[in-house]
Amino acid sequence: MAKLTTADKIVFFVAFCGIAVLFSYLGSSATSDRFVNVKVAGEDRYIVDLHEEKTLILAGELGDSQLQIQQGKIRFIHSPCNTQYCVRSGWLNQTMGLIACLPNKISVHFSEPSNLYDAINF
């Protein structure tokens, strides 16, 4: 094993701790994930705070959809559609950007707009 100086050990320790902090910090939700917009029939209807745990019941075209807010996240738990894609898509996160029950015309997306482009190709 190569000879390590004190400075080497300090640098390694600081780098390791920094990466560990990044792992823990980025796992949790940022402030931009706090509010979501709920659209009914294409119109922004509600702005919901994800820090308040509750169950929302929204009237859509086909009937009532239920949304659950828990631990800073939101998801569909019940919808009157046939396919149930909205329920199966699970918790809303930044990767998908949107959960929606299209037959019932209800959609939920984050209030903070993402950057203009997801990716750029050359």
Partner 1 sequence: MQLRLNPSVKDCQIAALTALAIGIHVLESVLPSPMPGIKPGFANIVTLIAFASYGFEVAAWVSLLRVLVGSLIIGTFLSPTFVLSFSGAVASILMLWVITKWQWLNLSLFGIALLMAMAHMLAQFVVVYWIFIPHSVMLNILPVMLLIAMIFGVLNGIIAQKVNEKLKATC
Binding site for partner 1 (CB under 8 A): 1-8, 11-12, 15-16, 18-19, 22-23, 26, 30, 32, 94-95, 114-120, 122
- Alpha-carbon distance of 65 to 114, in angstroms, equals 26
Q: Using the 8-state DSSP alphabet, how is residue 53 labeled?
A: -
Report the nearest approach of partner 1 to the CB of residue 90 (Å): 16
Report the nearest approach of partner 1 to the CB of residue 56 (Å): 25
Task: Give residue 26's identity as a one-letter amino acid code.
Answer: L
Nearer to partner 1, 2 or 57 (CB): 2
Q: Is the CB of residue 67 less than 8 Å from the CB of residue 101?
A: no
* CA distances in angstroms from 119 to 96, 97, 122, listed in the order given: 14, 14, 10
Nearer to partner 1, 11 or 77 (CB): 11
Nearer to partner 1, 8 or 53 (CB): 8
Report the nearest approach of partner 1 to the CB of residue 97 (Å): 9
| Cβ neighbours for 81, distance < 8 A, ≥ 6 positions apart | 62, 101, 102, 103, 104
Report the nearest approach of partner 1 to the CB of residue 110 (Å): 10
Nearer to partner 1, 22 or 77 (CB): 22
Q: How many angstroms from the chain centroid is the CA of residue 10?
A: 37
